[in-house]
A and B are shown apart, each in its own frame.
Chain A
Amino acid sequence: MSDSSLIRMANQIAANLKNRADHREAITAHLKSFWTPKMLTELKELISENSTDFDETIIEVAATL
């Protein structure tokens, strides 16, 4: 995956779920259901490299994956 695609997808998921009361669980479930293990690994790596590109909720969720 290209970094820009992955960042956009992650932030978009957060933007669409973060208003839900159970947003952390919802985002976690979504990523686990639809993202490949490699994409999840890349997400964590990108956050560790530069977290400013990411929505805060994604950063929180990624830490638990």
Chain B
Amino acid sequence: MSLLKETDFGTPASDSTENVTVIIDGREITVPAGTSVMRAAKMLETTIPKLCATDNLNSFGSCRLCVVEIDGRKGTPASCTTLVEPGMVVRTQTQKVEKIRKNVMELYISDHPLDCLTCPANGDCELQDMAGVVGLREVRYGYEGKNHLASPTDYSNPYFNFDESKCIVCSRCVRACEEVQGTFALTIEGRGFDSKVSPGGKDFLSSECVSCGACVQACPTSTLQEKSVVDLGMPNRTVITTCAYCGVGCSFKAELRGDELVRMVPHKDGGANEGHSCVKGRFAWGYASHPDRVLLPKIRESITEPWREVTWEEAIEFAASKLKSIQSKYGQQSIGGITSSRCTNEEVYAVQKMIRAAFGNNNVDTCARVCHSPTGYGLKQTFGASAGTQDFKSVEKSDVIIIIGANPTDAHPVFASRMKKRLRKGAKLIIVDPRRIDLVRSAHVEASHHLPLLPGTNVAMINALGHVVATENLIDWDFVNSRCDLNAFKKWEAFIKQPENSPEVVETITGVPAEEIRAAARLYASAKNGAIYYGLGVTEHSQGSTMVMGIANLAMATGNIGREGVGVNPLRGQNNVQGACDMGSFPHEFSGYRHVSDDVVREQFENLWGATLQKEPGMRIPNMLDAAIVGDFKAIFIQGEDIAQSDPNTKHVKAALASMALVIVQDLFINETAQFAHVFFPGTSFLEKDGTFTNAERRINRVRPVMASKTGKQEWEVVALLSKALGYEMNYTTSAEIMDEIAQVTPSFTGVSFAHLDKVGSVQWPCNEANPNGTPVMHIEQFVRGKGQFMETHFVPTEERTTRKFPLLLTTGRVLSQYNVGAQTRRTKNSTWASEDLLQIHPSDAELRGVKEGEWVKLASRVGETTLRAQLTSAVPPGVVYTTFHFPVTGANVITTEYSDWATNCPEYKVTAVEVMPSLSGPTEKSILDKSEKALAKNV
């Protein structure tokens, strides 16, 4: 339930191409065959009363409220389960059906608490609405008989209650869990009068429920109710905006009472999520008003001094004078900055503009450096566009899906639900991942092939898949001949056919049986529509860029590009990774991925900006940190990124930060990085921002200010003030003006404006004169670069090797309830499910080391060590261990090394040689990390 009601047609749309004409209440309508009578009536704006039906669930026919009369048919069929037939004549409002409906409602209400005036759902309850619609005025049966009014309430979930006494057993929650979320955590227990909704276990919290909220949204009563609504009351206004967590970029209705946010409800018209959500976006927004939020600017001369709260003016002046003085002493290249994927396109654009125009150099980079920079590189080389090829909806047409190095059910849950829906309908699944992720085998989903390769051997694996395609005549010659550069293809074909790429040789590298590789390759290549989805398990390697190109090769060789159901799809980690990259955050590129050395492009920016711009690339994040250590790089502006926790080899990062003369952090919280800062500019949460995010499917969504900025300023305003203090004025008065400038200088954005987005909802770039409403699927007629470019993808093993001292391989990832460095989710009740980082270790490796379930272990690599609890599981193979990096006290990146992708310097988070041993205690406030920080500070 929610405040703003989108039209509910009662049953899902039919995708039939055949049409049927029927007459409903004397009016004729033509609808697709397979449409329900209920839906057809709604299309005529005739609302048939209903309780168990809603249009994101298959019809169920249990409530009997939607009965109608149909000429020539006996009885009163349910309109939700009755499909239209040619010439059918339907009557929805007859005395007979109205009497039935009233009787049905009377029975429901006879076993329902009569506490409407004090019920949290008062005013937002379909049962209440239907009682009014059918004209129920009395309940003849009394309330003394057997009933469910004393049934208990389950308060265990931190975000919603389950009040059994209010349940009408319509099964909408059970069906939402199955059909929308795909978790199958709920069931109807018992029979007849004893039927009741059950989470399967003792309570919701201990069940398999993933708290996506689909059941709460589906509930037509107050049975499943958000605690925030119970506590705060029913909201009274709605703002449609975009989630700030993962790269799915779900649309939400932010529902408020005055200026207080009461709940976030997924928006049905949101193109990315179509009304679904996960536990993070739906419920974990409390961090935005957490007491840890810093709302006033702070400065200090040295990081050993306490912070001093100052006015914006003083903070801006302090930062600007320091930056100027550092540049005058150490040179123009001695300062730089980092943009953030958690910020809007407009905020990111402003920062990169400040760096290029006011700092006068190209030392700007973005946190995509440490996640998807190889995607940008690899897809630009092969396809000509640094982005995924499809929209999310495309997966509904896929026949074979390959997931490589991604764990969508945890990291991209809303897309995972969409994918699982397709898998339940029969699409085949291949998983390439060292770990047995949930999608390998879960409720009603089982992968046809799981290729559990050794970390670091991705490229060998993709080459082997390509080898099978090339040597077993599985190439789509029509596609290759018409769409691809044939010279490059011939070179690739000669390379990929070499015996070193055969599954039999690759088996010795990856550990995956050759026959399994061959079978997977045949399955993908023979699919009508084969799609590849991948994550950071592809990019965060020494050969991340090579692997992305290998994936592109495979898709091109099999003709799986340029239509619905196919494609190469990077699952972006953060909400605006795509956008931050699009906006010119990389040191070698302006917005729209155009190199700074391109005189024509640079001149366009110089003329518009009124500044002289440099034509050589600037420094990447690791270059800046290295240069800081040797004394060449002295000041950095860090927008919304906690590099002291998220970047690899924490000790090195902290040493670099500690050696700088000025660190400026713009963020919500005093994070790990801010411990090394001299200036802290308080940032805005997504609830306060006014701008756009671009998700993993290139969808540009509006981020609307749900409430006024708690700091009094938008982040781009602070950047503009700093830029002005440095001598370069930006002169924007609204964020819409920034987008207008982006559209002016970025060919793929020329049709984008806030006004257009407000009108059409969202668009996927390219959005320009040729594609005014955007481009859901790219490369349809031809590739952006013209012909698709096959690339030779030689397997060059990482230098990170296991040794006798460090015999295990560590790989990292994230869990469903936490998000990246945890700055947001740790400040919510999501920590109920995961309150610490755990080390997953195979029972055989654990036994060898005397490690027991739940006990502390020391995890050590050649660069550092930390302590965390062990979790024994066969989900990781022997020889591989796995952990997350959500908690600073663990500091998992103390362990990860300096190795990075050869082309982009994306860190190799996924392969670190480690050893694990029992430990007597865990990390504390006085951990090794803290000690090292203090030592660094002392040295400074």
Given contacts A5-B626, A16-B794, contact A33 B902 (CB under 8 A): no
A11 and B903 CA atoms in complex are apart in Å by 11
User: In A2-25, which residues have CB < 8 Å from any B CB?
Assistant: 2, 5, 9, 12-13, 15-16, 19-21
Taking CB atoms and an 8 Å cut-off, the chain B residues in 25-41 that contact chain A are none
A16-B903, A30-B903, A33-B588 as given contacts; A2 in contact with B626, CB under 8 Å = yes
Contact A19/B794 with A1-B627, A13-B902 known, Cβ cut-off 8 Å: yes
A36–chain B nearest beta-carbon distance, Å: 6
B619:A15 contact, CB within 8 angstroms? no
**Is B519 positioned at the interface, with any CB of A under 8 Å from its CB?**
no
CB interface residues, B 754-793, toward A, < 8 Å: 792
The number of chain A residues touching the other chain, given as a range, is 20 to 34
In the complex, what residues of B have CB within 8 A of residue A13's CB? 902-903
CB-defined contacts of A34 to chain B, threshold 8 Å: 588, 617, 620, 903
Contact present for A1 and B630 (CB under 8 Å): yes
Question: Beta-carbon contacts of B897-915 to A below 8 Å, as 1s and 0s?
Answer: 0100011010000000000
- Could you give, for residues 619-639 of chain B, a 1 whenever the CB lies within 8 Å of some chain A CB and a 0 otherwise? 110110011011010000000
Contacts of B187 in A (CB 8 A): none
CB–CB B622/A16 < 8 A: no
- Whether B630 pairs with A2 at a CB distance below 8 angstroms is yes
Cβ contact within 8 Å between A5 and B622 = yes
Closest chain A CB from B485 CB (angstroms): 13
Q: Which residue on chain B has the smallest CB distance to residue A16?
A: B902
The smallest C-beta distance from A6 to any residue of chain B, in angstroms, reads 8
List B residues 41-93 near A (Cβ within 8 Å): none
Closest residue to A38 on the B side, CB-wise?
B333
Interchain CB contact under 8 A, A37 and B616? yes
Q: Which A residues lie within 8 Å of B898 (CB)? A: 5
Q: Indicate whether B543 reaches chain A with its CB closer than 8 angstroms.
A: yes
A39 at the interface (CB under 8 A from B): yes
Cβ–Cβ < 8 Å partners of B620 in chain A:
34
Q: A1-B627, A36-B616, A39-B623 are in contact. Are A16 and B333 (CB under 8 A)?
A: no
In the assembled complex, the Cα of A5 lies from the Cα of B905 at a distance in Å of 11
Nearest CB in chain A: distance from B565 CB, A: 33
CB <8 Å contact, B616 and A19: no
Q: Which of B588, B796, B902 has the most CB of A within 10 A?
A: B902
- Say whether B595 faces chain A, with CB atoms less than 8 Å apart: yes
State how many residues of chain B have any CB contact under 8 Å with chain A. 28
> Given known contacts A37-B616, A38-B333, is B902 in contact with A2 (CB within 8 Å)?
no
On chain A, the residues within 8 Å of B622 by CB distance are 5
State which residues 565-607 of B face A: CB under 8 Å. Answer: 587-588, 595, 597
When distances are taken between beta carbons in the complex, the residues of chain A under 8 Å from B903 are 13, 16, 30, 34
Residues of A within 8 A of B587 (CB): 36
Instruction: Identify the interface centre among A12, A20, A32, A38: most chain B CB within 10 Å of its CB.
Output: A12
Considering only CB atoms, which chain A residue lies closest to B331 in the complex? A38
B723: chain A residues within 8 A (beta carbon): none
List of A residues within 8 angstroms of B849 by Cβ: none
B491 interface hit (Cβ, 8 Å): yes
| A residues less than 8 Å from B530 (CB atoms) | none
Cα–Cα, bound, A19→B617 (Å) = 26
Is B277 positioned at the interface, with any CB of A under 8 Å from its CB?
A: no
Q: Which residue of A lies closest to B792 (CB)?
A: A20
Complex CA gap A34/B380 in Å reads 14
Residue B271 is within 8 A (CB to CB) of chain A in the complex: no
Q: Which residue of B lies closest to A13 (CB)?
A: B902
Contacts of B344 in A (CB 8 A): none
In the complex the two chains form, what is the Cα distance from A8 to B67 in whole Å?
74
Interface membership of B455, Cβ < 8 A: no
Hey, what's the 0/1 contact readout for A23-52 against B, CB within 8 Å counting as 1? 000000010111111110000000000000
Verify if B220 is at the interface (C-beta below 8 Å from A): no
Residues of B within 8 A of A39 (CB): 623
Q: Which residues from chain A contact B902 at a C-beta distance below 8 Å? A: 9, 12-13, 15-16
Evaluate contact between A36 and B617: CB separation under 8 angstroms. Answer: yes
Cβ of A37: which chain B residues have Cβ within 8 Å of it?
616
The CA-CA distance from A15 to B620 in the complex, in Å, is 21
User: From A1, which residue of chain B is reached at the shortest CB distance?
Assistant: B626
Are the CB atoms of A16 and B629 closer together than 8 Å? no
Contact across chains for A19 and B595 when beta carbons are under 8 A apart: no
B618 within 8 A of A: yes
- List CB contacts (< 8 Å) of B879-919 with chain A: 898, 902-903, 905
Do A36 and B546 form a contact, CB below 8 Å, given A1-B627, A2-B630?
no
Would you list which residues of chain B between 616 and 664 have a CB under 8 Å from chain A?
616-620, 622-623, 626-627, 629-630, 632
**Partner pick for A21 among B491, B616, B627, B629, CB 8 A cutoff:** B491
Residue B238 CB within 8 A of the other chain:
no
Given known A-B contacts A15-B902, A16-B794, A20-B792, A36 and B623 have beta carbons under 8 A apart: yes
Q: Which of these, A16, A30, A36, contacts B619 with CB under 8 Å?
A: A36
Residues of B close to A16: CB separation below 8 A: 543, 546, 794, 796, 902-903
Shortest Cβ distance from residue B716 to the other chain A in the assembled complex, whole angstroms: 27
In the assembled complex, how far is the CB of residue A7 from the closest CB belonging to chain B, in whole angstroms?
12
Instruction: Report Cα–Cα, A21/B792, bound state, in Å.
Output: 10
CB B285 to nearest CB in A, in angstroms, measures 38
Residue of A nearest to B624 (CB): A1
B617 and A33 within 8 A (CB):
yes
Any A CB within 8 A of the CB of B181: no
B382 at the interface (CB under 8 A from A): no
Contacting residues, chain A, for B597 (C-beta < 8 A)? 32-33
Nearest A residue (CB) for B589: A33
Does B542 reach chain A (CB closer than 8 Å)? yes
| Chain B residues, Cβ within 8 Å of A1 | 623, 626-627, 630, 632
Are A33 and B595 neighbours in the complex by a CB distance under 8 Å? yes
In the assembled complex, how far is the CB of residue A35 from the closest CB belonging to chain B, in whole angstroms? 7
Cα A37 to Cα B623 with chains together (Å)? 13
Complex Cα distance, B587 from A30, in Å, reads: 14
Please name the residue on chain B nearest to A18 by beta carbon. Answer: B794
Contacts of B546 in A (CB 8 A): 16
A36 contacts B794, C-beta separation under 8 Å: no
Residues of B close to A15: CB separation below 8 A: 796, 902
Assembled-state Cα–Cα distance A19/B902 (Å): 14
Find out whether the CB atom of B792 lies under 8 angstroms from the CB atom of A19.
Answer: yes
Alpha-carbon distance between A26 and B25 when the two chains are bound, in angstroms: 71
Chain B nearest CB: distance from A23 CB in Å? Answer: 10
Nearest-neighbor residue (CB-CB) of A15 within chain B: B796
Distance of A24 Cα from B796 Cα, bound (Å): 18
- Docked-complex contact B629 and A12, CB < 8 angstroms: no
Task: Tell me, rounded to whole Å, the shortest Cβ–Cβ distance linking B657 to chain A.
Answer: 16
Contacts of B595 in A (CB 8 A): 33
Residues in A with CB closer than 8 Å to B632 are 1, 38
Kindly provide the distance from the CB of A5 to the nearest chain B CB, expressed in whole angstroms: 5
Query: Whole-angstrom distance between the alpha carbons of A16 and B794 in the complex?
Result: 7
> A1-B630, A12-B542, A30-B903 known; A35 and B794 CB under 8 Å?
no
Min CB distance, B766 to chain A, in Å? 23
CA distance A16 to B626 in the complex (A): 23
Residue interface mask B487-499, A partner, CB < 8 A = 1 = 0000100000000
> How far is B587's CA from A34's CA once the two chains are assembled, in angstroms?
8
- Which chain A positions have C-beta within 8 A of B617? 33-36
Expressed in whole angstroms, the Cα–Cα distance for A13 and B901 within the complex equals 9
**In angstroms, how far is the closest chain B Cβ from the Cβ of A39?**
7
Determine if B618 and A36 form an interchain contact, defined as CB atoms under 8 angstroms apart: yes
A5-B622, A38-B632 are known; give 7 further A-B pairs, CB within 8 A: A1-B632, A9-B902, A13-B902, A16-B794, A33-B617, A34-B617, A36-B616
24 sampled A-B residue pairs with Cβ under 8 A: A1-B626, A1-B627, A2-B626, A5-B622, A9-B902, A12-B542, A12-B796, A12-B902, A15-B796, A15-B902, A16-B546, A16-B796, A16-B902, A19-B794, A21-B491, A33-B617, A34-B588, A35-B617, A36-B333, A36-B587, A36-B616, A36-B623, A37-B616, A38-B333
10 cross-chain pairs, A with B, having the tightest CB-CB distances, nearest first:
A12-B902, A16-B902, A19-B794, A1-B626, A5-B626, A15-B796, A2-B626, A37-B616, A16-B796, A13-B902
